[in-house]
């Protein structure tokens, strides 16, 4: 062996010994730390080895998602739901082979009733635009039955908002700003915008945090802003305001919202100036008068007695006082950050709240006046078709469009570490999200969703999705047998005042 080879071998041996010594020192240090700390029992009783528990617990999230969970097992969205959204966004073949992996005997499963005389292609029509806000100076004629739900700049990254804006313009649907205010990125693609007024009134608040007519006029002057939505609550956290961690509050976000850089952005758990039906209708009237544009409300339904009071007050004032639309969010709705008890255990699901709202509006004679928007895990065609059949005029989804952007359900939305760049402000992580590419995927996802909802409608004999009715579908009950939606939701709501009488 020549001298050079011996030299290289010596270097390798010395390097190995140094690494070994460093490893022994490192393990020894961890052993000392674990044995003398008092916060973690497992690490104190099993120094060094106890640390692997946390490592494997972390890895378990990824192993379950990719190796162990079946296609229909995961929550909040299973692999089958995500796969459909991904393939739709990429505009690739979305057909399946051999047979469905969906358990059609599971209670709650929705099944549509096909007709022996389905709608022929030449007889099918597109869903016509619907007017929202007939008593406004500038009513909005909304084109699409599927739209982008509220997601703030701050909760979402800059390239994500840009991609959604451009994709929405290509698709012909609207985009909701979320409660974080109107950013240049919402406007960058030229799409229709719904401006959401949250409990902190970001973007339209004065120096004291109160609603500012001047700032409302400034926002309304932007032609792309078509409607205003007053958010009372949302499905993932009813009774809790928006939460944006301080590490995501950049100087730009702070300026848009009117808050301090680096501090947690926590909205009040309700509008301090709204505590009665009269207050709410006064707020709706104020925003509508100042902006000249349609104004609606958003909430997750729990107790519904307040809606009796609200609708009674509307009938007392006249139907022009009603909100131009109501967005009802199911308790299965998502968010970037929320306390687990609220996300898990508060509010009614959309399957209960949507039919109840529609039937209440009918009972008070307000159904034709108020447009209904359904929200809550409506990411696949069956879900959207169900909502339309129950009585919704429009549907919105946030997480469906997040999947179109490349979201992998890493469950890190409340941190600044989203690996797909959708909910992070780390420039390195945002690098992989190209707005030009993802905007095409947003539009493609929307198109496939609309097309396949139409396929369901045509199989039922309807010419377009809004012709779907409750009698077109059935839901599996606890017995394993299905019951018609018209029987499950008969639409015979009686107002509380009539029950008392």
Query: What is the per-residue pLDDT across 430-488, written as a single tens digit (0 to 9) for each?
Result: 887 889 999 999 999 999 999 999 999 999 999 999 999 999 999 999 988 999 999 99
Query: What is the per-residue pLDDT across 302-320, written as a single tens digit (0 to 9) for each?
Result: 989 999 999 999 999 999 9
Q: At 372, is the pLDDT very low, low, confident or very high (cuts 50, 70, 90)?
A: very high
Whole-number pLDDT of residue 244: 72
Q: Which residues pair with 373 in a beta bridge?
A: 327, 394
Whole-number pLDDT of residue 324: 98
CA dist., res. 422 & res. 164, Å (int): 11
What are the φ and ψ backbone dihedral angles of 398, each rounded to 5 degrees?
Answer: -100, -50
Q: At 86, is the pLDDT very low, low, confident or very high (cuts 50, 70, 90)?
A: confident
Q: Are strands 295-300 and 110-112 parallel, antiparallel or unpaired?
A: unpaired
Domain layout of the chain by residue ranges: 3-68, 121-137+146-500
CA dist., res. 61 & res. 35, Å (int): 28
CA dist., res. 11 & res. 8, Å (int): 5
CA dist., res. 136 & res. 131, Å (int): 11
Q: What CATH architecture is 121-137+146-500?
A: Alpha-Beta Barrel (3.20)
Q: Which residue is it, tokens 């692997």?
A: 52
What are the φ and ψ backbone dihedral angles of 257, each rounded to 5 degrees?
Answer: -85, -25
The b-or-e profile of 436-455 (16+ CB within 10 A means b, else e) is: eebbbbbbbbbbbbbebbbe
Q: At 94, is the pLDDT very low, low, confident or very high (cuts 50, 70, 90)?
A: confident
* Statement: residue 298 has pLDDT above 60: yes
Q: At 234, is the pLDDT very low, low, confident or very high (cuts 50, 70, 90)?
A: confident
Whole-number pLDDT of residue 236: 65
The beta-strand segments (E) located in 332-416 are 371-375, 394-397
Query: What is the per-residue pLDDT across 342-352, written as a single tens digit (0 to 9) for each?
Result: 666 677 899 99
Whole-number pLDDT of residue 355: 96
pTM attached to this predicted model: 0.85
CA dist., res. 324 & res. 391, Å (int): 16
Q: How many residues does the chain have?
A: 501
Please confirm whether the linkage preceding 355 is cis (ω < 30° from 0): no
* Statement: residue 230 has pLDDT above 60: yes
Q: Which two tokens stand for residue 124?
A: 């099918």
Whole-number pLDDT of residue 465: 96
Query: What is the per-residue pLDDT across 120-143, written as a single tens digit (0 to 9) for each?
Result: 989 999 999 999 999 999 999 999
Q: At 149, is the pLDDT very low, low, confident or very high (cuts 50, 70, 90)?
A: very high
């Amino acid at each position: 062996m020549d001298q050079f080879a011996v030299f290289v071998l010596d270097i390798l041996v010395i390097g190995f010994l140094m690494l070994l010594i460093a490893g022994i020192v490192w393990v020894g240090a961890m052993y000392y730390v674990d044995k003398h700390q008092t916060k973690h029992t497992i690490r104190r009783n099993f120094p060094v080895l106890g640390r692997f528990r946390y490592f494997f617990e972390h890895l378990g999230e990824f192993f379950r998602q990719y190796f162990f969970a079946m296609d229909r097992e995961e929550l909040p969205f299973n692999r089958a739901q995500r796969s459909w959204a991904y393939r739709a966004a990429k505009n690739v073949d979305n057909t399946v082979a051999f047979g469905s992996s969906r358990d059609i005997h599971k209670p709650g499963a929705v099944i549509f009733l096909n007709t022996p005389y389905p709608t022929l292609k030449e007889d099918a029509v597109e869903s016509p635009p619907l007017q929202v806000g007939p008593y406004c100076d500038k009513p909005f004629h909304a084109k699409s039955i599927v739209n982008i739900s509220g997601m703030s700049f701050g909760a979402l990254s800059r390239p994500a908002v840009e991609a959604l804006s451009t994709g929405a313009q290509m698709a012909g649907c609207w985009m909701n700003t979320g409660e974080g205010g109107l950013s240049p990125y919402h406007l960058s693609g030229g799409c229709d915008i719904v401006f959401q007024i949250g409990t902190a009134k970001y973007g339209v608040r004065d120096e004291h945090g109160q609603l500012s007519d001047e700032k409302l006029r400034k926002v309304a002057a932007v032609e792309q802003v078509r409607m205003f939505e007053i958010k009372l609550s949302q499905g993932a956290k009813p009774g809790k305001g928006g939460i944006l961690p301080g590490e995501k509050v950049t100087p730009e976000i702070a300026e848009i919202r009117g808050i301090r850089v680096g501090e947690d952005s926590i909205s009040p758990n309700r509008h301090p100036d709204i505590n009665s039906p009269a207050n709410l209708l006064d707020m709706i009237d104020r925003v509508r008068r100042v902006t000249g544009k349609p104004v609606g409300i958003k909430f997750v339904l729990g107790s519904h007695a307040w809606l009796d009071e609200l609708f009674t007050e509307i009938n007392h004032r006249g139907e022009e006082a009603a909100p131009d639309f109501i967005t009802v969010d199911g308790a299965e709705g998502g968010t970037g950050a929320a306390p687990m008890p609220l996300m898990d255990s508060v509010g009614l699901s959309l399957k209960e709240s949507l039919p109840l709202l529609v039937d209440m509006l009918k009972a008070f004679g307000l159904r034709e006046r108020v447009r209904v928007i359904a929200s809550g895990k409506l990411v696949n065609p069956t879900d959207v078709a169900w909502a339309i059949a129950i009585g919704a005029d429009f549907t919105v989804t946030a997480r469906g469009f997040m999947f179109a952007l490349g979201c992998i359900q890493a469950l890190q939305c409340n941190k600044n570490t989203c690996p797909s760049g959708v909910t992070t402000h780390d420039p390195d992580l945002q690098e992989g999200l190209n707005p030009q590419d993802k905007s095409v995927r947003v539009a493609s996802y929307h198109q496939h969703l609309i097309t396949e909802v139409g396929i369901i409608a045509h199989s039922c004999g309807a010419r377009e999705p809004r012709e779907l009715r409750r009698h077109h579908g059935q839901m599996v009950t606890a017995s394993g047998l299905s019951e018609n939606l018209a029987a499950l939701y008969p639409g015979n709501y009686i107002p509380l005042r009539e029950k008392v009488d």
